[in-house]
A and B are shown apart, each in its own frame.
Chain A
Amino acid sequence: MAAAAGVGVIRLADCLGSPTRADTWLAQVAGAVPTTERIDLDVAPVSFVCPYGAAVLLSVCQHLARERGRPVQLVGLQEHVHAYLRRVDFFKAGAGAVVADRPLRWGVEIPRSLASLNVLELTVVRSLREVYDATARALRILTTWLGLDAGVAQHVGCCIAEACENVIEHSRDSGVLVAQKYEFAGWTEVQLAIADLGIGIRQSLHTAYAGLDETPAGWIRRAVAGLSCRGDRGGVGLSEIRRLATQTGGSLLIRSGAGRAMYAPGHAWYSDLQADVGGLPGTQLAVTLRSMGGTGRRTEVQ
Chain B
Amino acid sequence: MSVELGIQPRVFALSELFGVLDVPGPDLLLRAYGEQALPVLEAKLLGVPEGRALVLSFAGVRIMTPSFADATIVALLRGLREGRYEERYLLLAEPNEETLVGLAGTFERRLHRSLKLAIVLRCAGTYRLFGPVEQNLQAAWQLVAERGTLTARELADELELEINTASMRLWKLHSLGLLARREEALPNGRQHIYTLPA
Task: Determine which of B24, B65, B98, B109 lies in contact with A161 in the assembled complex, contact meaning CB atoms within 8 Å.
Answer: B65
Q: A151 to chain B: closest CB distance in Å?
A: 6
Contact code string B60-73 (vs A, CB < 8 Å = 1, else 0):
00110111001100
A151–B98 contact, CB under 8 A?
yes
| Chain B interface mostly | helix
Residues of A within 8 A of B23 (CB): 129, 132
Residues of A within 8 A of B24 (CB): 136
A165–B32 contact, CB under 8 A?
yes
Give the CA-CA distance A240 to B30 in the complex, in Å.
13
- The verdict on A234 contacting chain B, using a C-beta distance below 8 Å, is yes
Within 8 A of B (CB), among A156-198: 157-158, 161-162, 165, 168-169
Residues of A within 8 A of B67 (CB): 161-162, 165, 236-237, 240
Give the CA-CA distance A296 to B179 in the complex, in Å.
52
Bin the interface of chain A by size: 20 to 34
Give the CA-CA distance A281 to B97 in the complex, in Å.
37
Q: A160 to chain B: closest CB distance in Å?
A: 9
Task: Determine which of A150, A155, A165, A233 lies in contact with B30 in the assembled complex, contact meaning CB atoms within 8 Å.
Answer: A165
Bin the interface of chain B by size: 20 to 34
- The verdict on A76 contacting chain B, using a C-beta distance below 8 Å, is no
A162–B65 contact, CB under 8 A?
yes
Contact code string A218-244 (vs B, CB < 8 Å = 1, else 0):
000000001000001111110110010
Contact code string B1-39 (vs A, CB < 8 Å = 1, else 0):
000000000000000000000011001011111000000
Residues of B within 8 A of A165 (CB): 29-32, 67
A239–B29 contact, CB under 8 A?
no
Residues of B within 8 A of A136 (CB): 24, 27
Residues of B within 8 A of A158 (CB): 63, 65-66, 98, 102
A161–B113 contact, CB under 8 A?
no
| Chain A interface mostly | helix
CB nearest neighbor in A for B112: A226
Within 8 A of B (CB), among A96-152: 128-129, 131-132, 135-136, 139, 150-151
A150–B102 contact, CB under 8 A?
no
Q: A258 to chain B: closest CB distance in Å?
A: 27
- The verdict on A20 contacting chain B, using a C-beta distance below 8 Å, is no
Give the CA-CA distance A96 to B198 in the complex, in Å.
59
A131–B62 contact, CB under 8 A?
no
- The verdict on B105 contacting chain A, using a C-beta distance below 8 Å, is yes
A240–B66 contact, CB under 8 A?
yes
Give the CA-CA distance A165 to B31 in the complex, in Å.
8
Most buried by A among B67, B97, B98, B109: B67
Offer 8 A-B interface pairs, CB within 8 angstroms, sorted by A.
Answer: A131-B29, A132-B33, A151-B98, A155-B98, A158-B65, A162-B65, A233-B70, A236-B109
